[in-house]
Amino acid sequence: MKVLVVDDEAKFARLVAEHLDEAGHDTAVLTSGEQAVKAVASGSYDVVITDLKMAPVDGMAVLEAAKKASPDTEVVVMTAYGTVEKAVAAMRMGAYDFVTKPFSLDELVLVLERVGERRKLKQENVALKQELQTTERFTEMVGSSPALKKVLELVAKVGPSNTSVLILGESGVGKELVARMIHRTSKRAGKRFVVVHAAALPDTLLESELFGYERGAFTGATSRKPGRLEMAEGGTLFLDEIGEISTAFQVKLLRFLQEKTFVRLGGSRVTTVDTRIVTATNCNLQEAVALGRFREDLYYRLSVFPVVVPPLRDRRTDIALLTRHILKRLGYNRDIGKDVMRVLEDYDWPGNVRELENVLERALILAGGQEIGTQHVQLPEAVFVQDAGDRIRDTGGERKKSLLDMEEEMLRDALGRTGGNKSKAAKVLGITRRMLYTKLKKFGIEYSEDE
């Protein structure tokens, strides 16, 4: 920790500082209360150790100035035996503790250790609150498809290690959820999981968010703030959308990955942390490397163990389980109709699990407490049907074709135009070949998969 020792007995102050330096602290010395009041105004000290009896500016003034500049700065007062009452008054003003002269220097080291534990606990509480606010909607990956099982197997293998993991996949597939699973299966599970969304921040803010900053580092920096890397000490930092960071910041991130050290924005002190880095992107990083937009050395540092999360369209057998899971969480405990489930399973879900959740939440609202039907499932650019008896009529009262009829007609027309070639028919309709087979089966249209 960064410690300031204040005592008008210069020899004693230096003796204390030397002992604290040997204990691993970064210690500075001042020999007057007046100097100390000016120094603590910067709010750049973790702990201030000050003598109470100084003139003309005493330790109480130093305490008041330190707490005013930075409430997180802890103050330990040194007092003679006859002024213990004044030390108690200092604690009422916000001092952390006091030591009575003469005292053992090792006793002071123990006091600072307790201060460090208290600061760490505060940071953990802040991180926990942030995690609870941003935690993934699901506590586990839902599904039993082979594609999902492969991901879970990889997570189980890499979780216990300290290896850097790069999670790849489209938007909405649950990359953050996979990162949380990696953390929970690691030896770091008892520590913090901290999230940073890289694409949401410009370089300067991303740097201050990751590395922290000193007071005065930029306009509005009124006190020192630890970065997310420090908050994740002993735990895991999840850096999402890594493909969006600039080449300039890539250099700084690479330096941290190589040395596990960094310097706070506006500071000069080198800080070392033991933090596991897990990153994610929906970009093609290999292509970005080839185009010179992403550093090759950083790519190899991050992708020691890549995990590809499949899109929802490649794990259609999980859609039913996911649907029931999401609706149960939203408070809907009824069975889902086969026609509704068919609509959901036929759709390609470009927005993946996140889109599925949004569609189901909207359907629940539209149903207004009643059973969810196909008319409540609103899918952009999706072909879905209403009940066979639900016909669309024009103003003249003549029955028009239902969406079901139109869908079958489109399928037969596409097959006719392509001479029965299923691959070409799927392209004409703008759907996957797998979805085409599903629809052909639905309408009882004979087909062969020997193409």
- Multiple choice CATH, 2-118, 2.40.30.30, 3.40.50.2300, 3.20.10.10, 3.40.470.10: 3.40.50.2300
Asked if 241 contacts 286 with a C-beta cutoff of 8 angstroms, the reply is no
* The pLDDT value given to residue 135: 47
Q: Going by C-beta distance under 8 Å and a sequence separation of 6 or more, which residues neighbour residue 261?
A: 255, 270, 271, 272, 273
- Give the separation between CA 199 and CA 415, rounded to whole angstroms: 44
The CATH 1.10.10.60 portion of the chain extends over 385-451
Indicate the CATH number for domain 385-451: 1.10.10.60
* The pLDDT value given to residue 387: 36
- Give the separation between CA 345 and CA 145, rounded to whole angstroms: 14
- Multiple choice CATH, 135-310, 3.40.50.1970, 1.10.3720.10, 3.40.50.620, 3.40.50.300: 3.40.50.300
- Give the separation between CA 188 and CA 176, rounded to whole angstroms: 17
Residue 255 sits at φ, ψ, to 5 deg, of -60, -40
Mind listing the pLDDT tens digit for each residue in 337-347?
999 999 999 89
Which residues in 105-127 are b (16+ Cβ under 10 Å) and which e?
Answer: eeebeebbeebbeebeeebbeeb
Output the CA–CA distances (angstroms, integers) from residue 263 to 108, 247, 253, 269, in the order listed.
27, 19, 12, 6
- Least Cα distance to 176 among 288, 309, 302, 275 occurs for 309
* The pLDDT value given to residue 384: 40
The CATH 3.40.50.300 portion of the chain extends over 135-310
pTM as predicted: 0.61
The CATH 1.10.8.60 portion of the chain extends over 313-376
CB atoms near residue 76 (< 10 Å): 22
- Least Cα distance to 166 among 37, 276, 70 occurs for 276
- Give the separation between CA 287 and CA 302, rounded to whole angstroms: 15
Q: Domain 313-376, what architecture?
A: Orthogonal Bundle (1.10)
The CATH 3.40.50.2300 portion of the chain extends over 2-118
* The pLDDT value given to residue 276: 95
Spans in the chain with pLDDT lower than 70: 81-83, 124-140, 222, 381-404, 430, 447-451
* The pLDDT value given to residue 448: 60
